[in-house]
Amino acid sequence: MLQTVLLTVAVALVPTLAVSAANAVGTGSPVIVTPADGESYYSHEVPDLVVDFGNAPYGSYDWSVTDADSNQVLHSGTFDYDAADPDQNDLADLTDLGLGGYTATITSDGGTVTSSFGTFELGPPPVECQIEVAAVRVVGPTTAVYPRFHGCEGQTETWAVRHRVGNGTLTFGTFKVVNGKSAGPWRFKDSWPTGVYAIRSREMYGYNTSTVVRLVSRISLTAGTKVGGHFRISGDVTRYVPSADGFRGWANRPVAISYKNCAAGCAWRFLGTDHTDSTGHFSSTVTSSQARYYRATVGSTTSVWGRTSAPVKR
């Protein structure tokens, strides 16, 4: 739905009488052709200020476009209308105007004649073509990231994938839809930084989003034989290491151990915390007289996704 802010163009058009009466054509006044009275426009599609001088005297006209609130002059110039000019003349490109109210004025040395009033609405365009990018899990030197597009039928649009580096922002590639179809994946290289990547449309009012890139971790869990209600649970935690192009043990990471009393329909409960050693291994002794299900979880960091193991029963 178009959200608009009323933008009013009040145009006072004053024809010059500096030329002789014999050279004046007609006794009327200039008329605004565009923006058309009562029309609605999106702010990046506002038509030029076009005035029809076909029924106006020849002469020199000073024109300006000002902000209605601050009276700041945004555009200005002089137009000399004579017999060599066409009736309709383009006086100003208004596409740089933001939301708000404006006044366009034309004046001359002689008399005051108001040619016409023009009012139109100016608002942002509707967002149509949208991109959706899932979180990125890096498992190798290059990870293909496939977007999903919504409402992009027949449209062509490009999104830059940007990430803050130091005090600036760098572009690490693009997503593109061509005639409503994806131009292919964005390929993330594991030498690039992890974190939040902004996905910014190159259209003025395009749809923007973001995604999170992190390295993948893995966790395993096994349970030993129960003797007198006591048994050991152990496992290994690894994470992808770009410099090794593979998975390595994740040292000194806390591992949360949880349990539940049934296969389905009951909640997991926290049992305790273990820590991985220098190789990513962990091991704990558990005491329980009844059969239960156990699982292990390693949490996420800013660069690595966390993971939960498959449950084991003892």
pLDDT in tens, 90-138: 888 887 877 777 777 776 644 433 333 334 455 666 667 999 999 999 9
Determine the average pLDDT of the residues in 32-59: 72
Between 20-34, 75-89, 140-154, 263-277, the lowest mean confidence (pLDDT) is in 20-34
pLDDT at 246: 97
Is 5-123 a domain of CATH 2.60.40? yes
**AA letter at 129:** C
Is 217-313 a domain of CATH 2.60.120.1030? no
Question: Confidence class of residue 56 from pLDDT cuts 50, 70 and 90?
Answer: confident
pLDDT in tens, 220-262: 999 999 999 999 999 999 999 999 999 999 999 999 999 999 9
Determine the average pLDDT of the residues in 140-155: 94
Dist. CA 63–CA 65, nearest whole Å: 7
Query: Do 223 and 295 meet the contact criterion of CB atoms below 8 Å apart?
Result: no
Question: Confidence class of residue 89 from pLDDT cuts 50, 70 and 90?
Answer: confident
What is the location of CATH 2.60.40.730 in the chain?
217-313
**AA letter at 157:** E
| Cis amide leading into 35 (omega within 30) | yes
Q: What is the DSSP letter of 242?
A: G
The fold of 130-214 is: Immunoglobulin-like (2.60.40)
Sequence length of the chain is 314
